[in-house]
Amino acid sequence: MKRIKVPIFTEEYFIIVIIGNLEELKKAVKGKVDAKYLDNKRGICLDTLRNGEPPLILINGDYEYSHCISTIAHEASHAMDDIKDYLNIKDINGEFHAHGISSVLRHTLKYIKI
């Protein structure tokens, strides 16, 4: 299992990405969400900002490479929505959103099995 802290906006905000197999991911979400929610999913994003924690992206690394990449981007989009809502940012041209997704991809792709 790999846990990656991805900086977003400033050093004050970040997204945590966890890449692992299903059992590792279930241990990582213990107490945050019902672990059964991860069954048959490539990944999920948990909005934990209101609990004082950064958004949490969980990626099942047992899926094929292209599915993992697209899942990371998909879940990063949800995480950026959560941060924008939490900070009440009006991202009219989508630059904040796009930069956040690219940051997540830059920091995580090297950990996906080809």
pLDDT tens-digit series, residues 62-98? 999 999 999 999 999 999 999 999 999 999 999 999 9
> How does pLDDT run across 6-49, given as a tens digit for each residue?
999 777 899 999 999 999 999 998 888 888 888 889 999 999 99
C-alpha 52/C-alpha 48 separation (Å) is 7
Beta strands 13-20; 43-46: pairing state: unpaired
Question: Which strands, in side-by-side order, build the sheet including 56-60?
Answer: 2-8, 13-20, 56-60, 43-46
Domain boundaries, the chain: 2-111
Q: What contacts 106, CB < 8 A, 6 or more positions away?
A: none
| Sign, CA torsion 15/32/60/68 | negative
pLDDT of residue 32: 83
pLDDT at residue 9, as a whole number: 77
The pTM score is: 0.92
